[in-house]
Amino acid sequence: MSGEAGPDAEALRREADSLRDRGQWQAAAAAYAAFLRLRPDDVGMQVQQAHCLKELGEVRQALGLYHAAWRARPLDADIPLQIGHAEKLLGQRDHARAAYAAAVALDPGGTAPWAEWVALVADRPDRAAPRAGGMVLDLTDLTRWIREGYRAPSGIQRVQIGIAAGALAGPSPPRLCALWTGGLRDLPAALFHRIAHLMSTGTETDDPSWREATGLLEVLLERPPPLRFDPGAVLVPLGGTWGVPGHLGTLRAARLRDGLRQVPLVHDCVPLMMPEYCQEGTVSGYSRWFANLALHADGVLTVSRSTRDDLRRLHRALLPELPVPRAAVVRMDAAPAEPPPHQPADHPLLRGDVPFVLFVATMEGRKDHRMVFSAWLALLRRLGARAMPLLACVGKPGWRAEPALSLLEHSPELRARVRLLHDVSDPVLAALYRRSLFTIYNSLHEGWGLPVTESLAAGRAVVVPAHSALVESGQGGATFFTPGNEPELVELLGRMITDPAFRAAEQARAAAVPLRPWGVVAAQLLAEAARLAELSGGTLPRLPLAAARRHPLRRMAAARPNLAMAVAEAVREGEGWYPLEDWGAWTRPGAATLHLPLDAGHGGALRLELDLRGPAQPQEVELHVMRDGGAPVPPVQVRVEAGARLAVALAVPAGGADLRIDLHCQEAWPDPAGRPVGIGVEGFAFAAMEREEERLALLEARHFHHATALPEL
């Protein structure tokens, strides 16, 4: 550009702006075009020219300019917003929705992009989502957290948000979904971005913005039909799904129907490693999920080598009948995202100059606040209250926190130097990390230990017991002590408090630890999940199914996984089943299928027994027995009286290794929960007709229960 062009260009810009402000769109567009001939790289003026063309009705020409501007400024949320407006004028609602979604991703706290996207989504909340292919992230655990009334995220929710946000920002963004009643549903990325933003910037659940977003979440996960998948699509559940009724059944149905593969992310094995520190329901649910892992997963991702090793050891010990799933480690060594700059952090601990030490963890027995409080009390008595900083504990109350709370309640001097904080927003938490003298994270067992990583990211020394995955999360930067050694912890904390030079040296080590952006962690996770799914070829291990014993089809409550839990899940094939209950399982109206994989020694004729339970009204059930390579079997019709239990014996001809039984019900009746059901199934058993000992064992099993010894860990 010549030296003369600058003043000429500025004069043209002023003229174009003046014409635009007076609504003289044609002349303004021409003036902006003349300006851009002199300064073709001025994206802002390119957008202004597009505005003028749009006002003139030259919407397609305006769209071309908007897209060129967006390529030049891909992080400017206003440009996709304008693209959405233009697409809407052309009647291209799907294109407009996609543009508004892109604007929400860039500015999730912005009012205009969100309002425009919601308006286009809310007019058809029941529209079917396109089939999902490639990689799909399952955020069921995150949506359950929200449905249970929480806004501020816990550690696992932070991980899910970080991975999903990092993956969506990558070159091949995955689809998102979550399990709702009736199946997996599409979770729009724009809605995720909005909810993640609100979770990271506030804690109030009655905030109108939060209520609007979570209300829309309910609608969009309930109204549309279930999500369908392209063959070979890979589902990656990012959180715990063991407490979600029907999740495993949904995975089986999607694998059978669409060829879906699954590679879950395992955060820890704590319910099996330390069941005494978990609620009984959590232990039972985790045990059922763990028992089914090999039969439902094409591989597993673990957040640490420690968790991978725990999983392998437990699986070999507790489920020797099943192969251990392939595993890949994806470390959660990610630096937290920076809080939005317009969100000032305010908290009483941040307003003055009172020194404090930070302990971020749910207040539960496994985090062992009791030991930290005891060490703090010992230091208070040794150093005096004036020499001691405050201990700020961030985390909501959890399971078995009573010993720690009791010590706090009965020690006024300790209580005066401890602050319990919960529902702390991300901006405040980040500021607390930065302002703390140092941090402490005491836990009896960890799958990773996200607060350790967060402390290192903030450049703060962190005092950590040297065990489990904490050795990995704190590698190179944490200040370790011997696990469970309270005197050693007292000495180490005392030195951190009273020796500024030592504390500064430990802080320098912490600040030097290299951490990764969430986008890099997410890229590794997606690549490893794809690799494991490819290695499996979509083929899962065959269920080992024993003859001559009764196999209950019910939700089992046990502290350890066992093969019976896997059998109860895996034999119920397709979409014709409701989730397991404590007594058995209801079929849905219509047909439901039992798939019994037989071993090579049971190719001959069989005696098959089914234990049925009637619904609220008498039910006619037609039983179809189908065996690979076997002779056709005429259907058998039975009548089960209302609420009655009926044992049905069927003769199965010789044939192949796969036996299927279809249960067809003539009517649908409501169960106690009001759902329409077909028939209840409590269990099944089979024996070789030619083996008298197996048939006698079936008879004995109907009248006696055989106890099984628990395996050694």
Residue 227: its pLDDT value, please? Answer: 97
| Exposure b/e, 510-532, CB count within 10 A at least 16 = b | beebebbebbebbbbbbebbbeb
| Whether the domain at 135-329 and the domain at 348-514 fall into the same CATH topology | yes
The residues, any chain, with a CB within 8 Å of residue 438's CB and separated by 6 or more, are 357, 358, 455, 460, 461, 462, 463, 479, 496, 503, 506, 507
pLDDT tops 70 at residue 612: yes
Quick one: what percent of the chain has pLDDT higher than 90? Answer: 91
Residue 124: its pLDDT value, please? Answer: 84
Q: Which tokens in the block code for residue 214?
A: 């979570």
Residue 629: its pLDDT value, please? Answer: 85
Q: What is the pTM of this model?
A: 0.95
Least confident of 281-285, 592-596, 700-704: 700-704
pLDDT tops 70 at residue 712: no
Rounded Cα distance between 153 and 426, Å, is 9
pLDDT tops 50 at residue 296: yes
pLDDT tops 90 at residue 474: yes
Place 3 in a pLDDT band, splitting at 50, 70 and 90: very low
Least confident of 54-68, 88-102, 326-340: 326-340
Q: CA 363: distance to chain centroid?
A: 22
pLDDT tops 50 at residue 169: yes
- Cα atoms in the Cβ-side hemisphere of radius 13 Å centred on 572: 31
Residue 2: its pLDDT value, please? Answer: 41
pLDDT tops 90 at residue 508: yes
Place 4 in a pLDDT band, splitting at 50, 70 and 90: very low
Query: How do strand 572-573 and strand 135-138 relate by DSSP bridges?
Result: unpaired
Asked if residues 379 and 388 have their Cβ atoms less than 8 Å apart, the reply is yes
Nearest of 695, 299, 307 to residue 536 by alpha carbon: 299
Read off φ and ψ for residue 144, nearest 5 degrees.
-65, -40
Rounded Cα distance between 302 and 265, Å, is 6
Q: Each residue of 242-260: pLDDT tens digit?
A: 989 999 999 999 999 999 9
Q: Which tokens in the block code for residue 447?
A: 């799958």
Least confident of 215-219, 334-338, 646-650: 334-338
pLDDT tops 50 at residue 1: no
As a CATH number, domain 348-514 is 3.40.50.2000
Give burial (CB, 10 Å; 0-12/13-18/19+) of 55: middle
Kindly report each contact of residues 696-700 with a partner whose C-beta sits within 8 Å and lies 24 or more positions away, as own/partner. 697/548, 697/549, 698/548, 698/549, 698/550, 698/607, 698/609
Average pLDDT over residues 153-165: 96
Query: How do strand 300-302 and strand 265-266 relate by DSSP bridges?
Result: parallel
Read off φ and ψ for residue 119, nearest 5 degrees.
-60, -40
Q: Helix or strand or coil: residue 119?
A: helix
135-329: which CATH topology? Rossmann fold (3.40.50)
Structure-derived torsion over alpha carbons of residues 611, 614, 615, 618, reported in degrees to the nearest 10 = 150
Q: Each residue of 40-68: pLDDT tens digit?
A: 999 999 999 999 999 999 999 999 999 99
Residue 702: its pLDDT value, please? Answer: 82
CB count in 10 Å sphere of residue 78: 18
Place 222 in a pLDDT band, splitting at 50, 70 and 90: very high
Q: Each residue of 580-610: pLDDT tens digit?
A: 999 999 999 999 999 999 999 999 999 999 9
Residue 423: its pLDDT value, please? Answer: 87
Spans of all domains in the chain: 135-329, 348-514, 551-703
Rounded Cα distance between 9 and 331, Å, is 53
Average pLDDT value over all residues in the chain: 95
Residue 352: its pLDDT value, please? Answer: 84
Q: Each residue of 645-696: pLDDT tens digit?
A: 999 999 999 999 999 999 999 899 999 889 999 999 999 999 999 999 999 9
pLDDT tops 50 at residue 539: yes
Average pLDDT over residues 218-244: 95
Quick one: what percent of the chain has pLDDT higher than 70? Answer: 97
Rounded Cα distance between 501 and 674, Å, is 68
551-703 under CATH 3.40.50.2300, yes or no: no
Q: Each residue of 387-420: pLDDT tens digit?
A: 999 999 999 888 899 999 999 999 999 999 999 9
Residue 407: its pLDDT value, please? Answer: 97
